[in-house]
Structure 1
Amino acid sequence: MIAFVVGCWISLPAQAAVREYWVAAEKTTWNYVPSGQNMIKPDAGLGVWGKTPAYTKYRYIGYTDGSYTQPLAQPEWMGILGPELRAVVGDTIKVHFLNKTDRPLSMHPHGMFYDKDNEGADGAGAGASVPAGKSYTYTWVADEAAGPGPMDPSSIVWLYHSHVMEEEEANLGLIGTIIVTRQGMARSASDPAPRDVDQEFTALFMIFNEEGGEESGLKHTINGRIFGNLEGYKTSLGKRVRWHVVALGNETDNHTVHWHGQTVLDHGRRTDVVEVLPASMTSVDMVPRSPGHWLLHCHVDDHMMAGMSTRWHVMP
């Protein structure tokens, strides 16, 4: 099938779908430590990082339709992340974006096919800067170059984030992910998730700078939580689990992501530590082999000390 998409003609599979999402940017309060406790080492406390647990943030919130009245439910483990956008290779993603905040914002996708109006960045094009109170519909295509490569698993992860003042807006909390599944590997026409895995988790490793570089404001987070306050990573023995691991931030956001109790297959390489840098994206597979409540953390010493840890749970 030949289709005219975002300004030019491209070839799409005959079964390609248009997948619509409604996303608003909203000003909220975010608590990095909702329990008020160090859930990894209770006796150690929270140190300086627990001095101020909550800050004003900006987030992407998903809605069920264009009325923007019913928020989409998200798994607890997603934390601060915006709604997960999904597609199969060949699909078109339409994101109806409503800026409900007090500043111009955008949505810029990594990996997708788009024209200048749908880039959501670079100060050019209709979608580069959506004013406060206004809306814009982005059209992105998950073409072959946006999908899994020959050595990739059946689904891969891409970031999206605001890109009007890009050096500020990820730190504000305007971050989400896009999952693209290889053609022919979706569970069904209505469910673009890959059929060869049972569960998919996403983990964003990022240091949020809340106080101009003061140590107490450097929140070393996994999905916006510190010291084990991210809940919800739960699976069972023998499940086929895919982890989408991403990072954003500054030069200090060099992370070594380590799972206790299990190894992962990283594009053919067996390991239990995956390296990510700012704006890195990778997808790895595991089949849990040992029940328990296992640590998931960055193995950089300073990052561990500052709370970049949580637990993932494997049930018998």
Structure 2
Amino acid sequence: MARSLKCSSLFAQLAQPYGGAKAVNGFVYGNLPGLQLCSGDRVVWYTFGLGTETDIHGIYFQGNTFQKQGTTRDTLKLFPHTTATVTMNARRAGVYEVNCRVTDHYMAGMRQQYSVAECPGRNHTHTLAHTRPSAVVQFFISAEEVEWDYSPSRSWELEKHQATLDNSPGNIFVGKGERQIGSRYKKAVYREYTDATFRTQRKRQADQKHLGIMGPIIRAEVGEQILITFRNHASRPYSIYAHGIETSDTRIPVEPGFMTEFRWDVPEGSGPGLSDPNCISYIYYSPVDFIKDLFSGLLGPLVVCRKGTLSGLGAGGRGGDRRRTDAQREFALLFLVFDENQSWYLEDNIRTYLDTNPYNFTSDDSFTESNMMHGINGQLYGNLKGLVMTRGELVDWYLVGMGNEKDIHTVHFHAETFTYKTDHIHRADVFDLFPGTFQTIEMVAGNPGTWLLHCHVSDHIHAGMETTFTIRANSSQG
């Protein structure tokens, strides 16, 4: 039986200055009716964006992916007065959210539900839940609390601003004062271990040090199953959940001190589309409180590849040392203004770094601004290290955008160009990221030297969203 075609329209309208609703088709917080699908349906979604300069939307379809211009995604970007049409093969029965990943919009109700039912007489789409996975890839991941330093060195900042420690414009973000926390904050992070005892943390190799605050790269091929043994070593409930693939119910909080297993299936529909590169990127994060968990630090890259792209699994199916066989380097970059005012640990940070009772502390605009950390992988002012490659190498970059209305990023590589793919191959040196959107770009390293890499939004440059990457003339260098 041929699949049925169903059409749905989503109209995103953000609040206007005097109290308008952050709505989808005029409804907020799950009140939009009529989004019912059948498993096996081919669904066309028509999305529209209107509004003001704050109407930047990353529209996320939980539970299913869609096709757009030959690519596979689960989030699309909308700018005011733009449209996007995508096609989805509804593959798994359940009730899912369609929401805006911009944290301010998500919090204010730009969240709806759509349901997928196994309708009688329909040709249901089968998933890996009904078939044997080609391999089981194991990861041992812990959520744990650390002291994170956004700017351990201030030399870049002082040289950039031609300033001293006393008069640098960067002081508002990384300088410590009577009412400024400084560059060090208590955070929660994902870290990888060697086995289920969680005694030995897996040491990050030279090509992984650039991950910074992010968790490990979780890689899998289409048809495989990812087995996550998750331990919560933090002081509050967290979990782990992924975009783009089929996850077990990881929205249930894991209490501090507890350990559990989650199984994630990687069906064909989660893999690269016809025009995509061999591997596409998603993210994993803690969904217990999406916004506060995110700004507390819990986020990592998930990479899904075509069959035959990754090296073999380690002993017991461990995926931590697995690598691409078709590219010489891979780097993941998260562009995010970490809003420490929305972290679970704000009170702890006031108590620890300001030596003040947080219940007696009164915030103001200056304090709020000082807690906005404009980072690449959680590092400011050139402190992100490890982006090193050799001339002639094929390098894949996994670009990740998250955050709120300020998180519109234009990722610029000096001295190099890259390609990205839709229905055609495009060459550029700047790529734009919206919150909740991800992109794999491909670069052949060409010009030896150390080059600037930053977000080209002027406020973000000023606030430290910059680092460098290095291309060696040959592998014997460095």
Q: TM-score, normalised by structure 2?
A: 0.60
Task: Tell me whether 1:29 sits opposite 2:136 in the alignment.
Answer: no
Q: CA deviation at 1:119?
A: 3.5
Task: Tell me whether 1:38 sits opposite 2:38 in the alignment.
Answer: no
SS at match of 2:293: helix
Give, in whole Å, the separation in 1 of the partners of 2:189 and 2:312. 30
Deviation per CA, 1:73-105: give whole Å up to 9, x if none: 222211000111111111110000011111111
SS at match of 2:131: strand
Determine which of 9, 18, 25 is the counterpart of 2:130.
Answer: 9
Determine which of 254, 257, 261 is the counterpart of 2:408.
Answer: 254
Contact 1:88-1:192 at 8 Å conserved across structures: no
> Larger C-alpha radius of gyration, 1 or 2?
2
Q: CA deviation at 1:196?
A: 1.7
Name the residue aligned to 2:273: 149
Letter in 1 for 2:233: K
Name the residue aligned to 1:58: 188
Give, in whole Å, the separation in 2 of the partners of 1:231 and 1:238. 21
Matches within 5 A, 1:126-145: 128-145=252-269
Letter in 1 for 2:414: H
SS at match of 1:145: helix
How many matched pairs? 300
Name the residue aligned to 1:124: none
Task: Tell me whether 1:224 sits opposite 2:378 in the alignment.
Answer: yes
Task: Tell me whether 1:197 sits opposite 2:327 in the alignment.
Answer: yes
Matches within 5 A, 1:1-316: 8-10=129-131, 12=133, 16-38=134-156, 41=160, 43-44=162-163, 45=168, 46-51=170-175, 52-74=182-204, 75-114=208-247, 118-121=248-251, 128-188=252-312, 190=314, 192-211=322-341, 214-267=368-421, 268-316=425-473
SS at match of 1:41: helix
Q: TM-score, normalised by structure 1?
A: 0.90
Give, in whole Å, the separation in 2 of the partners of 1:149 and 1:243. 18
Give, in whole Å, the separation in 2 of the partners of 1:20 and 1:194. 17
Q: Cα RMSD (Å) of the superposition? A: 1.9
Cα gap change, 1:20/1:269 in structure 2, threshold over 3 Å: closer, same or farther?
same
Letter in 1 for 2:444: V
Name the residue aligned to 2:102: none
Q: CA deviation at 1:11?
A: 6.1
Segments ≥4 residues shifted beyond 4 Å:
189-192
Contact 1:260-1:296 at 8 Å conserved across structures: yes
Bigger RCO of structures 1 and 2 (CA < 8 A, at least 6 apart): 1
Q: Which runs of 5+ in 2 are unaligned?
A: 1-125, 176-181, 315-320, 343-364, 474-478
Contact 2:137-2:313 at 8 Å conserved across structures: no
Give, in whole Å, the separation in 1 of the partners of 2:373 and 2:244. 28
Letter in 2 for 1:142: V
Contact 2:140-2:193 at 8 Å conserved across structures: yes
